[in-house]
Amino acid sequence: MEKTKTSKYDVAEHLRTPEEMAAYLEACLEEANGDAAFIAKALGDIARAKGMSQVAREAGLSRESLYKALSGERTPGFDTILKVIGALGLRLHAEAVQANT
């Protein structure tokens, strides 16, 4: 019987268009439940898909500090998040949530 070969799933390999990247971030924002490190990791996935060096350059950060900030092991500052989102060509938006009555 042949052994089944598996490889680690990397979402960055499947984020090809800006629309896919935005949809992924939107889904992660909905699932994060207040976990800022989770969002940072999602941004890291998108940055790897786009090219970490390019994103770092456009965000005005070193590649190493970008990897650390978006590792999911720490919570980067909001200024870093905004720089990265801009460098990724994405935009945050706010939406009113209807209160439960």
13-72 confidence digits (pLDDT tens) = 999 999 999 999 999 999 999 899 999 999 999 999 999 999 999 999 999 999 999 998
Give the pLDDT score at 101: 62
Residue 6 has pLDDT above 90, yes or no: no
Q: Which pLDDT score is estimated for 60?
A: 96
Q: In which band, very low, low, confident or very high, does the pLDDT at 94 lie, cut at 50, 70 and 90?
A: confident
Give the residue-averaged pLDDT of 73-96: 92
What one-character-per-residue DSSP string does the chain give? -PPPP-----GGGG--SHHHHHHHHHHHHHH-TT-HHHHHHHHHHHHHHH-HHHHHHHHT--HHHHHHHTSSSS---HHHHHHHHHHTT------PPPPP-
Neighbours of 22 (CB within 10 A): 16
